[in-house]
Chains A and B, each alone.
Chain A
Amino acid sequence: MAEQGVREVTEENTQASFVLELQDVYQRYPDSGRLKTVLNDIDLRVRQGEFVSIVGPTGCGKSTMFRMIAGIEQPASGTLLVDGKPVLGPSRNCGVVFQQYSQFPFLTVLENITFGLRLEAFGLAGNLLAIHRRRIKEFNERAMRYVDQVGLSPDDAFKYPHQLSGGMRQRVAVAQAMIMEPKILLMDEPFGALDPATREVMQLFILDMWQRTRSTVLFVTHDLEEALFVGSRVILMSPHYETDNGSHEGAKIVLDCQTSSVSPKPTDYKYSPECNALMKAIREGGYSSSNKVHIRGFNLRHADSFRTVTPEEWRR
């Protein structure tokens, strides 16, 4: 298996500089009486401050990877380190933004944003004492800065989530996660339920937010254009590839690239030849089942990219 395999490391790096490390990660689910491999030997390293967008055809295991990194499920084998420590369950290391259920409906926007801070400060007891009130005021002021940053008006802070539009809700969800300063911000198709116009606004918003805070973001999406526009690095996961072995199962990272040579990206990046070329590369690189790339030809140009292969897959 992967352990005996050939390792290609493009660059020597110290471990500590990577916020997220996946090595030889497999995930298998029981499917009609046997184990079906969903993720096949995933290797990935992400540095602090990167905006990684993960794309792939439907059902390729993007969300599985998301769930594993968030700690919702454990990998079948392999190592998965967030901030150098193995992931044992959902923890404060990862902030999450889901497509749905992004806030607690029983709290106002402000309470939603300060929820984590209040838990950290008071725990179960809640705000009983006067001293707590003072802390809460402090938190609220901090949350209001976030409310302002994510582009909501101060009045919105006292509304309930159901009174906000979909885009607003996602903004609040981002603020709610960001205020806890997580090591990685994980987003699973956060704009999937929004209309195209709002979506574009939100893409600009998340880019702006990222450029200001320089946090590490993992952005799972099925929209190619969106992935290229927001991400500083794009990863294509796909079950459509060829190996020397003949049969195979489960998705691999088949493409790993820097999206733009300049940072920050120009605003018309979507229409630039660089973007078009990359989009073409992704489409031809295994995005659909009709274009399969052999394992030797995977486009892993990103500096931090590395992979392990098994001898069966890659015969010399």
Chain B
Amino acid sequence: MRLRAPREGRPFISSDQQSCDDRGKEAIMWPITSKVMFEAANELWHILWFPFALVWKEICLIFSLSPKFSKKRVFFLSSFLFLVVIVSYLYISHERHIENPRDKVVPSVTQIVDAFKSSVTELDRSKKHCILVTDMIASSTRFAIGFLLLLPGVWLGLHMGLFPWFEASFLRFVTFFDKVPALTLLPILFIAFGLDETAKIALIVIGVSPTIVLDTYLKAKAIPREMIVKGLTLGASQFEIAYKIALPMVLPSILDNLRLSLKPVMLFLLVGESLAATSGMGYRIFVVRRYMAMDTIIAYIAIMSAILFLIDVAMKQFIVWKYPWQNKG
């Protein structure tokens, strides 16, 4: 079905040919009245219809497959939901603060900023850094190590996609392992590795790796056979096929997938930290929860999400810049 706005200048009285002819006869009978009345009605109709026409145009745009958007419109559309969330938060917070100026559940902007300030000024136990910096260093170290340890998964997936021996040996195991809910392994990991960093990083790797492996496997498997034959006829050895043809071919989509796995990595990191740690973003959030310090929690969440969002955007820009051929026929 196609949505279509009513054509302009169409009289509201009649639309079909028959009644148009009738109107002609009327015009002979009452030349002036009919014309004036018709024009006035038409005008009125347009004035009344105008806002609806705008809305209708917008609705048609929503389901248009190839609309031409200006940058302004894209900016407006992409910031709209942010605005809605922020404004409604501020509104709720404001309403609650009118009732109770010391409301902690929905802290105001000033409260959040204060919490942020105190986390920047207050020193932690070691008295070297402020709390926020300590937490960020601890978390980002774990995050970086966990993220880097996903790379062997990429390697394994690539080999599974190309070499049947790897496929036969690993595919079923990895697929099974992928279905084990990683969080249920956490107690085992704590018992096996103690409450140190090892257990937390192991949780990240165990939780995210199988997906990475399987994804890379599928991508490598989808490389057209022709490409590989072409490589062989150009004199490539099996390793050159793997690292000079297959890897560069799937690299952008692997990076895309790593970009999407930023969140699961963070998720497993936060869970690990919330259960056993002495510093870290997750640790702090779960500690201050005991005092219902929503201001600190919100400040931390905002910082964390912003950093992840920036990493995501940076990776995306990098992929677009570095691999201009991606997704192009």
- Using a CB–CB cutoff of 8 Å, the interface residues on chain A facing chain B are 70-72, 89-92, 94-96, 98, 100-102, 104-107, 115-116, 119-120, 123-124, 126, 160-162, 176-177, 180, 182
Contacts and interface: CB of A to CB of B under 8 A. Distances in A.
Contacts of B233: 70, 90-92, 94-96, 177, 180, 182
B243 interface: yes
9 contacts: A70-B233, A72-B229, A98-B226, A106-B323, A116-B234, A161-B325, A177-B233, A180-B233, A180-B235
A213 B237 CA distance: 27
B239 interface: yes
Interface stretch (B19-27, B28-36, B61-69, B244-252): B244-252
Contacts of A92: 233-235
Contact of B229 (A70, A116, A119): A70
B239 A162 contact: no
B235 A120 contact: yes
B328 interface: yes
B325 A96 contact: no
A90 B235 CA distance: 9
B226 A119 contact: no
B123 interface: no
B236 A119 contact: yes
Contact of B249 (A98, A104, A180): A104
A106 to B, nearest CB: 5
Given A96-B229, A96-B230, A119-B234, A162 B328 contact: yes
A101 B226 contact: yes
Contacts of B249: 104-106
Interface in B246-287: 248-249, 251
B41 to A, nearest CB: 56
A177 B233 CA distance: 8
Given A124-B243, A162-B328, A176 B234 contact: yes
A107 B227 CA distance: 13
Contact of B239 (A101, A106, A124, A126): A124
Contacts of A90: 229, 232-233
B325 A160 contact: yes
A95 B240 CA distance: 17
Contacts of B244: 119, 124, 126
Nearest to B243: A124
Given A100-B224, A101-B224, A123-B240, A89 B325 contact: no
Contacts of A71: 232
Nearest to B230: A96
A104 B249 CA distance: 8
Contacts of B325: 105-106, 160-162
B9 interface: no
A119 B230 contact: no
